[in-house]
Amino acid sequence: MHVLGHLTVEEFLRDYWQKKPVLIRQAIPGFEPLLAADELAGLSLEDDIESRLIIEEGKTGAWEVKKGPFTESDYRALPENKWTLLVQAVDQWVPEAAELLEHFRFIPSWRIDDLMISYATDGGSVGPHWDQYDVFLLQAEGQREWRVGQMCSEKSSILEGPSVKILADFTENERWVLEPGDMLYLPPGLSHWGISQGECMTYSIGFRAPSTAELLERAIDTALPTLTEDNRYSDASLSLQHSPGEITDDAAARLKSLLVDALSDPALLQATLGQLMTEAKYEEQAPTFDTSEQGWAETVSALQEAEQWTRHPQARFAYSINDTGAAFYCQGEIVNLPASAGKSLEVLCDEASYDSQSLIEAFDDSHLKTLLTSLVFCDLIVPV
Ligand code: SIN
Ligand code: CO
């Protein structure tokens, strides 16, 4: 399904992605909500599910935030209106929500974070704010007015008091009322404010983008084991300097090229992204990747118990190929494989589901057999 309405994927990527907002009327014509408001509230009662309530005129002040899990009495204590329930990672609990995310694979799947669903009463809003991440806001039920304003950064002032970040200043540039099936794309940093008109439900398709600090830490961790005492600062191009105590621009330039060299191997950089971007959203709940002791015969018979298999809802897969070989990434781990594994890894990472017989045939190679066995016995792929 194409969800970009009047835009082609190429136009969207060229003109809007990470650049400016765009409203797509009837991105999904006739869209039917995937779950009712009381089912969403039901999820927020569960221990393992991350949820929040934001109450504009709360008992403790403006923009009160409560964290789930909630109880029925939390709901009875809410005011008549102007509150919002937000439930994170619904795709991990509702298969139809995971299917909805499949339509956003025109962006690399390892950039997709989760599907958050909000339910708001009349006038409900989480206030004017900005996010670090791209988001598609799909109107699922009822109407919501969205206002977009100025670009923001960590320097933008926020209200003191509320534990949720509310902008102290919001300069509106545009506003639209979204109907069910309409979708608004917002780039990171753009301030926005969505106010419910009557009761409404909004689905946020959110993305992940690691910070430079996280990437640097991971890249260094990956590079360190490859370095020896022979890798060292050197200055064969040294010339006489006026002040011997000065650390010159030339010295800084030598260090820069040493650091760039240490981190420039494409396989190392792919592994940095691959490991970071496949970390589970909730590590304590998600299956972990481990090498299984089971044999291939056990794997084949386990796979044959179901015709169709799919990724575990909390599993995150990605792969890379370069001159030195291929690598598979899962739950923050890396498995190095020969380049010939590329086609099988593509199936594993890109297909929404797999036919067990095709999987057995595609993984008929000693390295790949070990990988598939681990995926089956660690519950990283599961019967549909
Ligand atoms: C909402 O659905 O109310 C909030 C989504 C957002 O502004 O990021
Ligand atoms: Co937001």
Total length of the chain: 384
Report CA-CA distances (Å) from 48 to 69, 79, 95, 353: 8, 26, 17, 25
Q: Is the pLDDT of residue 261 over 90?
A: yes
- 218 in ligand 1 pocket by Cβ < 6 Å? no
109 alpha carbon to ligand 2 midpoint, in Å? Answer: 21
* Mean pLDDT of the 8-33 span: 98
Range list for CATH 2.60.120.650 in the chain: 9-207
Per cent of the chain over pLDDT 70 is: 100
Handedness of CA 7, 12, 14, 20 (dihedral sign): positive
**pLDDT for the residue numbered 161:** 87
Cα 175 to Cα 192: distance, rounded to the nearest angstrom: 9
Q: Which atom of ligand 1 is nearest to the CA of 135?
A: 8
**How high is the pLDDT of residue 26?**
98
The ranges of the chain annotated as CATH 3.40.366.30 are 296-383
Return the CATH number of the domain spanning residue range 9-207.
Answer: 2.60.120.650
Q: From the CB of 192, is ligand 1 less than 6 Å away? A: yes
User: Is any atom of ligand 1 closer than 6 Å to the C-beta of 131?
Assistant: yes
Write the pLDDT tens digit of every residue in 172-194.
Answer: 999 999 999 999 999 999 999 99
Q: Is the pLDDT of residue 145 over 90?
A: yes
Average pLDDT, integer, range 238-248: 97
Share of the chain above pLDDT 90, in %: 99
Beta strands in 208-269 (DSSP E): none
- Which atom of ligand 1 lies nearest, measured to the CA of 193? 7
- How far away, in angstroms, is 276 Cα from ligand 1 center? 26
- Note the pLDDT of residue 182: 98
53-74 tens-digit pLDDT = 999 999 999 999 999 999 999 9
What is the number of the ligand 1 atom nearest to the C-alpha of 129?
7
| pLDDT beyond 90 at 345 | yes
334 and 271 in contact (C-beta within 8 Å)? yes
Geometric angle at alpha carbon 136, from 183 and 178, rounded to 5°: 25
- Residue 306 and residue 355 in contact, taking contact as beta carbons nearer than 8 Å: no
Pair 78, 55: CB distance under 8 Å: yes
Kindly indicate the confidence band of residue 328, based on its pLDDT and cuts at 50, 70 and 90.
very high
From 54, 83, 85, 126, the mutation candidate for ligand 1 (largest count of ligand atoms within 8 A of CB) is: 126
- The model carries a pTM of 0.96
pLDDT tens digit string along 92-115?
999 999 999 999 999 999 999 999
- The pLDDT tens digits of the residues spanning 268-317 come to 999 999 999 999 999 999 999 999 999 999 999 999 999 999 999 999 99
Q: What is the mean pLDDT of residues 220-230?
A: 96
The CATH code of domain 296-383 reads 3.40.366.30
